[in-house]
């Protein structure tokens, strides 16, 4: 039974801290002035934060349709750009060929010695 009380106390503490941070960092709050929300959160331990999260937090602007997309059709990362991948492949292949040629020269030198 003690573990349940410890768990509930931890939940209450987390709600308390999150509600205070949320009410103090929000640009606007609903239904009550900010000072009353802070007082309610501090004075009424479990119901204050719960009430704030249910009725005091500002509601985000409603979205209509799918999420906005980037304009211009630009790719978001180089991995998505086929031209970039081709250039990387070409450059890497050239470097690999040069390294291999250098190793072959070194191998032939060692063989001759």
Residues 85-95: tens digit of each pLDDT: 777 767 778 88
- At residue 60, the pLDDT reads 65
* Residue range 48-65, pLDDT digits in tens: 999 998 988 876 666 676
* Residue range 9-52, pLDDT digits in tens: 999 999 999 999 999 988 888 888 889 999 999 999 889 999 99
**Rounded Cα–Cα distance for residues 82 and 105 (Å):** 35
Q: Give the chain's largest Cα–Cα span.
A: 90
- At residue 68, the pLDDT reads 58
Question: Are 52 and 23 in contact, with CB atoms under 8 Å apart?
Answer: yes
Q: Which of 36, 31, 19, 20 is nearest to 56 (CA)?
A: 31
């Amino acid at each position: 039974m003690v573990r349940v009380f410890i768990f509930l106390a931890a939940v209450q503490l987390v709600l308390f801290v999150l509600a205070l941070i949320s009410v103090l960092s929000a640009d606007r709050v609903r239904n009550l002035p900010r000072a009353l929300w802070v007082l309610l959160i501090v004075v009424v331990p479990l119901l204050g934060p719960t009430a704030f999260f249910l009725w005091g937090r500002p509601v985000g602007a409603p979205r209509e349709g799918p999420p906005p997309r980037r304009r211009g059709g630009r790719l978001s990362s180089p991995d998505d750009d086929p031209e970039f991948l081709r250039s990387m492949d070409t450059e890497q292949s050239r470097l690999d060929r040069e390294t291999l040629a250098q190793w072959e020269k070194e191998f032939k030198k060692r063989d001759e010695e």
